């Protein structure tokens, strides 16, 4: 390793090795109006370096809670999360989150938003930061809109900007919480393509939460089906299809049907149990 | 340009109406001087320096007091929003004092500080402070939690979050609080200057007061006009651009 310690754009844009995530026996309870809810019940999950994993399940199954725990935004009651062997205790920019609402800062323009995380990285000159931000805006196709105000963007453009902002500090893990749920179908399909391309180009470990089974089958190498009350991983599916995948392809529909069948079967069993 | 012309036309018509009323002699000229008499007074007062001097004195009181009010009020509002203990104690106090018309501070200020500059400053600070405190606190409480969470994941922490996320996110509230504080401070300062003679300097309020004592209606109306113009300028030069920027960024208005 003969690199300089001071950063440069080329160095900053170099691929960082994606993280390996180890989630061991994680449990979490919430105090709801109706009493205690076991949001996560001893969940175990390994995510390999550079893997694209989708967590799918009905709302209230704890998948978002698990994502927040991996992000370090919430603490588990018991169990542990480790990223590359190091325990996760607080949020950190090696694990960036993309939320369902874009969560872009309205007091900054698009460029300022992408720059926000970069400004928190030491060892970069301001020019480097600008160049890096420009690179990611181009990657998501927003170069023309870099000085637009947030409210001027369409829903899809907002999520592109949020994606650029999450990618810019070059995290090892990208945590995505139903990022495309509020978009129209056409925009969504475009973003599926973009996300697959970016995942391939930037080599990130991605944990993607969704309640859309087809979306999960389209994006994930592995799809984990969550069941609610208590939140558990019910079943695991390996999606072995070439990329880029088209959400409308027949092969993909086959996988989606399999997952949906399992989801139905389980919710019926739960109903019979009188839950 | 078209907007400017129609505005100019409006004010010219207003002047003509005034002149017409004066000519009609419905009221005695002592009670309603002509626009020309008022203009003459203004010309004289500008030439002998009375008006400039009084404006400087009033503006100095206002700006210094306003500045202190904001510099103290902004952090105080942030602290109150941050800690519930402060909210229940200082926050409630601030809320109560904000409902107090700021003119009501004048008697207290005079007893505490006497007829001094300090009394004037105190009144202005009290007019500004509580509005800024309450607006800042409300602004912070209205920041969507998701901004904080997003900033946390990007590696922003405590003070950095407060300065780069929570403060700018509450800006629309803070600016409207500052505007309200300005209005309160301006009104209470005028009231204080009319009430009391401060020997260290005659402000616009005092000129207005002496205009009444001398039954010099031209002076009274002229000074009132000056006060109106200062209020308008403060809005156009200082607040309007800020509000325009906020509206454009946040997309809260078409204009």
DSSP string, chain A: ----SS--HHHHHSPPPPP-EEEEEEEEEEEETTEEEEEEEEEEEEE-TT-EEEEE-STTSSHHHHHHHHHTSS--SEEEEEETTEEP-S--TTEEEE-SS----TTSBHHHHHHHHHHT-SS--HHHHHHHHHHHHHHTT-GGGTT-BGGGS-HHHHHHHHHHHHHTT--SEEEEESTTTTS-HHHHHHHHHHHHHHHHHHT-EEEEEES-HHHHHHH-SEEEEEETTTTEEEEEEE----SS--TT-HHHHHHHHHHHHHHHHHHHHHHHTT-
Q: Per-residue confidence at A164, pLDDT binned at 50, 70, 90?
A: very high
Q: Tell me whether residue B99 is exposed, middle or buried, using C-beta atoms within 10 angstroms of its C-beta: 0 to 12, 13 to 18, 19 or more.
A: exposed
Question: Cβ A150–B251 below 8 Å, yes or no?
Answer: yes
CA B223 to CA B211: how far, in whole Å?
9
Q: Considering only CA atoms, which of A210, A186, A252 is closest in space to residue A98?
A: A210
Only one residue has tokens 């929570």, namely: B166
Interface confidence, given as ipTM, is: 0.86
**Segment holding B239, helix H or strand E:** none
Q: pTM of the entire structure?
A: 0.83
Give the model's pLDDT for residue A4: 46
Identify all chain B residues contacting A95, using CB atoms and an 8 Å cutoff: 153
pLDDT higher than 60, residue A275: no
Q: To the nearest whole angstrom, how far is the Cα of B78 from the nearest Cα of chain A?
A: 18
Cβ-proximal residues to A61 (8 Å cutoff; 6+ apart), any chain: A226, A227, A228, A231
Q: What is the pLDDT of residue A2?
A: 43
User: CATH for B34-250?
Assistant: 1.10.3720.10
A217-to-A43, A63, A209, B3 alpha-carbon distances in Å? 21, 16, 12, 59
Query: Would you call A73 and B149 a contact, using CB atoms and an 8 Å cutoff?
Result: yes
pLDDT tens figures, A206-236? 999 998 999 999 999 999 998 888 888 888 9
Mind listing the pLDDT tens digit for each residue in A91-112? 988 899 999 888 999 999 999 9
**Of A73, A103, A165, which is closest to B147 when you measure between CB atoms?**
A103
A73/B151 touch (CB, cutoff 8 Å), yes or no: no
* Per-domain boundaries in chain A: 18-108+173-272
Chain B residues close to A121, C-beta within 8 Å = 155
CB-based contact A101 B146, cutoff 8 Å: yes
Antiparallel, parallel or unpaired: β A35-47 and A205-210: unpaired
pLDDT at B255: 47
- CATH 3.50.50.60 is right for the domain spanning A18-108+173-272: no
How many Å apart are CA A239 and CA A222, to the nearest integer?
6
pLDDT per residue as tens digits for the range B164-181? 999 999 999 999 999 999
The C-alpha atoms of residue A255 and residue A46 are separated, in whole angstroms, by 22
Q: Where are the domains of chain B?
A: 34-250
CB–CB of A91 and B155 under 8 A? yes
pLDDT of residue B199: 73
């Amino acid at each position: 390793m003969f690199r300089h310690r001071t950063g440069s754009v080329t160095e900053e844009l170099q691929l960082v090795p994606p993280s390996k995530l180890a989630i061991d026996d994680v449990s979490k309870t919430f105090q709801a109006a109706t009493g205690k809810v076991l949001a996560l019940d001893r969940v175990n999950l390994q995510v390999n370096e550079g893997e694209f994993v989708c967590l799918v399940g009905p709302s209230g199954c704890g998948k978002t809670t698990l994502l927040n725990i991996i992000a370090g935004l919430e603490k588990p009651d018991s169990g542990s999360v480790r990223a590359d062997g190091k325990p996760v205790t607080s949020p950190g920019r090696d694990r960036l989150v993309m939320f369902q609402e874009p969560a872009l800062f309205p007091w900054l323009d698009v460029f300022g938003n992408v720059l926000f995380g970069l400004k928190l990285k030491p060892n970069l000159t301001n020019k480097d930061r600008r160049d890096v931000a420009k690179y990611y805006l181009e990657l998501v196709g927003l170069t023309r809109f870099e000085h637009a105000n947030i409210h001027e963007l369409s829903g899809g453009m907002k999520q592109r900007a949020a994606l650029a902002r999450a990618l810019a500090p070059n995290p090892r893990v990208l945590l995505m919480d139903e990022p495309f749920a509020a978009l129209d179908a056409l925009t969504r399909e475009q973003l599926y393509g973009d996300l697959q391309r970016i995942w391939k180009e930037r080599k990130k470990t991605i944990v993607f939460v969704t309640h859309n089974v087809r979306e999960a089958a389209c994006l994930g190498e592995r799809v984990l089906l969550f069941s609610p009350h208590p939140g558990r991983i019910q079943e695991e599916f390996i999606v072995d299809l070439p990329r880029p995948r088209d959400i409308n392809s027949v092969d993909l529909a086959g996988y989606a049907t399999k997952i949906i069948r399992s989801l139905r079967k389980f919710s019926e069993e739960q109903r019979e149990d009188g839950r | 340009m078209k907007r400017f012309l129609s505005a100019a036309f409006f004010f010219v018509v207003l002047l003509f109406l005034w002149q017409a009323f004066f000519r009609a002699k419905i009221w005695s000229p002592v009670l309603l001087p002509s626009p020309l008499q008022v203009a003459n007074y203004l010309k004289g007062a500008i030439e002998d320096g009375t008006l400039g001097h009084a404006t400087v004195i009033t503006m100095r009181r206002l700006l210094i007091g306003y500045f202190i009010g904001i510099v103290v009020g902004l952090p105080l509002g942030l602290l109150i929003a941050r800690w519930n203990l402060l909210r229940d104690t200082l926050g409630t106090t601030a809320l109560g004092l904000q409902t107090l018309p700021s003119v009501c501070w004048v008697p207290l200020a005079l007893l505490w500080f006497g007829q001094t500059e300090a009394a004037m400053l105190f009144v202005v600070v009290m007019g500004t402070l509580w509005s800024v405190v309450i607006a800042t606190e409300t602004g912070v409480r209205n920041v969507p939690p998701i901004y904080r969470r997003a900033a946390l994941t990007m590696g922003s922490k405590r003070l950095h979050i407060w300065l780069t996320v929570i403060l700018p996110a509450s800006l629309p509230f803070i600016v409207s609080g500052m505007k309200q504080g300005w209005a309160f401070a301006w009104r209470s300062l005028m009231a204080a200057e009319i009430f009391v003679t401060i020997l260290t300097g005659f402000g616009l309020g005092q000129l207005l007061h002496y205009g009444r004592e001398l039954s010099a209606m031209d002076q009274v109306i002229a000074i009132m006009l000056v006060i109106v113009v200062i209020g308008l300028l403060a809005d156009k030069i200082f607040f309007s651009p800020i509000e325009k920027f906020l509206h454009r960024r946040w997309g809260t208005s078409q204009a």
